[in-house]
């Protein structure tokens, strides 16, 4: 069995984002990057399947981006992936979901993976398209937003997360692509020996064209902070004084403090 995991490197969202000159995305200088949260669930699930099947499946991890993403590929290898692949793409931030999916499908098609895991979306862009577009291009089954997954032979069962905490249970045969949601598993921390071992491993490097890059279907502009119009009272200052002001205002404008909860 062959498993592919697709991972993206994303910025720390606590950062302050400065638009680039073209207004398409942010300036990278000074930002810290890490593995997309949902992709960690994807890596963990792939490694668990490998362990459940006695180590037989080969797990390949793929990431697209500039040189910095190698660090994320190595993290996935330290978590238990066998092979690392890097599509070296300096312009990855300006690619649209169609182009990213074209490269993943271009890489995956001839290699005939039985299972592909991706995150349900990236936390910085959140298109939620790449997994589905990849599966559709490959002509394989795709199940999204998965919070439960099990495999018996070449038949899989998955639970999709629906609104309000409900779930939809679906069954499908391999090959298939699964997009992972929070709740599927708890990603492991790489062990020190795992980290040491991953550092020595070779990572296959492809160019975007070798992977199968296509022309974009969208054009982006106007990357900027949200425009806001506040309407309420804004208070600033010393915490203790603020607390007194807020209690006074809550007493004036709401009835909640008189209902006995605060005593």
Partner 1 sequence: MKTLLVAECRQGRPADATAELFGFARTLGAEVSVAYIGNPDDLPRFDGLVYFADVRDSGEYDPDVHKRLLLQAVEAGRPDAVVFMHSSWGWDLAPRVAAALKAAQVTEVTGVVGEGYIVDSCNGKMRRTVRPLTTTVVLTLQPGAFPALQPGGAPEIHLLRAEHGSNVEFIRYEPPPADGVDLTRAEVIVSAGRGVGSREHVELVKALAEALGGEVGASRPAVDAGWLEHSRQVGTTGQTVSPALYVACGISGAVQHLAGMKGAAFVLAVNTDRDAPIGEVADLFVVADLRQFLPALTAKLKR
> Residue 104 and residue 79: Cα distance in Å, rounded?
21
Q: How far is the CB of 256 from partner 1 (least distance, A)?
A: 5
> Residue 187 and residue 193: Cα distance in Å, rounded?
17
Strand-pairing partners, residue 148, are 159
Strand-pairing partners, residue 65, are 88
Structure tokens at 178: 């699964």
Kindly tell me which of 5 and 138 has the beta carbon lying closer to partner 1: 138
Structure tokens at 9: 């490197």
Q: How far is the CB of 43 from partner 1 (least distance, A)?
A: 16
Kindly tell me which of 74 and 160 has the beta carbon lying closer to partner 1: 160
Q: How far is the CB of 230 from partner 1 (least distance, A)?
A: 4
Contacts of 34 (CB under 8 A, 6+ apart): 9, 10, 12, 72
Kindly tell me which of 56 and 169 has the beta carbon lying closer to partner 1: 169
Q: How far is the CB of 100 from partner 1 (least distance, A)?
A: 12
Give the Cα-Cα-Cα angle 54, 60, 63 (nearest 5 degrees). Answer: 150
Q: How far is the CB of 229 from partner 1 (least distance, A)?
A: 6
Kindly tell me which of 78 and 176 has the beta carbon lying closer to partner 1: 176
Kindly tell me which of 13 and 192 has the beta carbon lying closer to partner 1: 13
Kindly tell me which of 32 and 240 has the beta carbon lying closer to partner 1: 240
CB 159 within 8 A of CB 148: yes
> Residue 244 and residue 236: Cα distance in Å, rounded?
12
CB 132 within 8 A of CB 118: no
Q: How far is the CB of 11 from partner 1 (least distance, A)?
A: 8
């Amino acid at each position: 069995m062959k498993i592919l995991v697709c991972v993206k490197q994303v910025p720390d969202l606590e950062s302050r984002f400065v638009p680039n000159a073209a207004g398409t995305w942010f300036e990278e200088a000074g930002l810290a990057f890490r593995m997309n949260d949902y992709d960690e669930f994807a890596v963990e699930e792939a490694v668990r399947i490998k362990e459940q099947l006695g180590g037989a499946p080969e797990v390949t991890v793929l990431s697209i981006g500039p040189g910095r993403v190698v660090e994320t590929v190595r993290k996935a290898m330290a978590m238990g992936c066998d092979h690392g692949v890097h599509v070296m793409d300096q312009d990855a931030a300006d690619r649209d979901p169609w182009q990213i999916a074209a490269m993943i499908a271009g890489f995956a098609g001839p290699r005939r993976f039985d299972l592909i895991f991706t995150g349900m979306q990236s936390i910085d862009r959140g298109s939620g398209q790449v997994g589905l577009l990849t599966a559709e291009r490959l002509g394989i089954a795709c199940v999204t937003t998965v919070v439960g997954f099990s495999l018996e032979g070449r038949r899989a069962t998955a639970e999709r997360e629906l609104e309000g905490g409900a779930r939809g249970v679906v069954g499908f045969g391999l090959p298939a692509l699964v997009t992972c949601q929070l709740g599927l598993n708890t990603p492991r921390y790489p062990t020190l020996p795992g980290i040491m071992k991953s550092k020595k491993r070779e990572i296959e490097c492809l160019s975007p064209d070798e992977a199968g890059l296509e022309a974009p279907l969208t054009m982006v502009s106007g990357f900027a902070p949200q425009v806001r119009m506040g309407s309420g009272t804004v208070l600033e200052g010393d915490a203790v004084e603020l607390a007194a002001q807020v209690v006074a205002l809550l007493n004036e404008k709401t009835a909640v403090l008189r209902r006995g909860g605060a005593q």
